[in-house]
Amino acid sequence: MKTTYKKRMQRKKEFIDSRIKEANIDKGIIVLLTGNGKGKSSSAMGMICRALGYDMKVALVRFLKGEQQTGEDLFLDNNSNVVSAHMESGFTWDTQDQELDKKSASETWNEAEKFLANPEIDLVVLDEITYMINYNYLDEKVILKVLSNRPKDQHVVITGRAASKGIIEASDTVSEVKDIKHAFRTNIRAQKGIDL
């Protein structure tokens, strides 16, 4: 029994080692985090943290920022390796002004475009951009073109529910966060350090 286990593990190790050896390409990738569960933007923040650990330069672009300040805003704002652009107005049901939302979306996208053309920036996070496409505030085609023309080593992380087909196809890594439970539904309000 013991040897069978050992053999199995040995085979597994050989397989994994050979796969690791084969994966020898370095390039900028697009990571998409979508789905209805909690964990998309905070995962993006985790990758920002990883990148900063290697002294990489990061651009954080947040669509749908809202009034609420988050812990990561406080943490990242003074970091000289981070540049950011935040959509000024909040959510549609906050502003209740579609034209204003559309204008803020394109202003924010203009900033994103600059980051996506700058080879000095190693990682660009486009937080909640999927909604801008779904509401037709931004043109998916334009976004896809800018993404494909970005510097070849630049990584991009995209977050937001209901990612469009085009964004899924353009991404290299796609994860769907599934909602099983959320504390909010038992009347627990958003908690500092966890939700904001």
Burial 101-110 (b: 16+ CB within 10 A, else e): bbebbeebbe
Stretch of residues binding Mg ion (CB under 5 A), selected from 23-31, 35-43, 107-115, 150-158:
35-43
How far apart are CB 62 and ligand ATP at their closest, in Å?
10
- Alpha-carbon span 10 to 26, nearest angstrom: 28
Q: Using CB under 6 A, which residues numbered 71 to 90 contact ligand ATP?
A: none
How far apart are CB 174 and ligand ATP at their closest, in Å?
15
**Collapsing DSSP states into helix, strand and coil, what is residue 79?**
coil
Judged by CB under 6 A, the residue of 159, 163, 170, 171 near ligand ATP is: 159
How far apart are CB 185 and ligand ATP at their closest, in Å?
6
Residue 162 interacting with ligand ATP (CB under 6 A): no
Residue 40 interacting with ligand ATP (CB under 6 A): yes
What's the gap between Cα 145 and its chain centre? 18
Q: Are 34 and 130 in contact (CB under 8 A)?
A: yes
Stretch of residues binding ligand ATP (CB under 6 A), selected from 52-60, 107-115, 146-154, 178-186:
178-186
Residue 149 interacting with ligand ATP (CB under 6 A): no
Alpha-carbon distances, residue 21 vs 73, 102, 126, 163 (angstroms): 39, 47, 31, 32
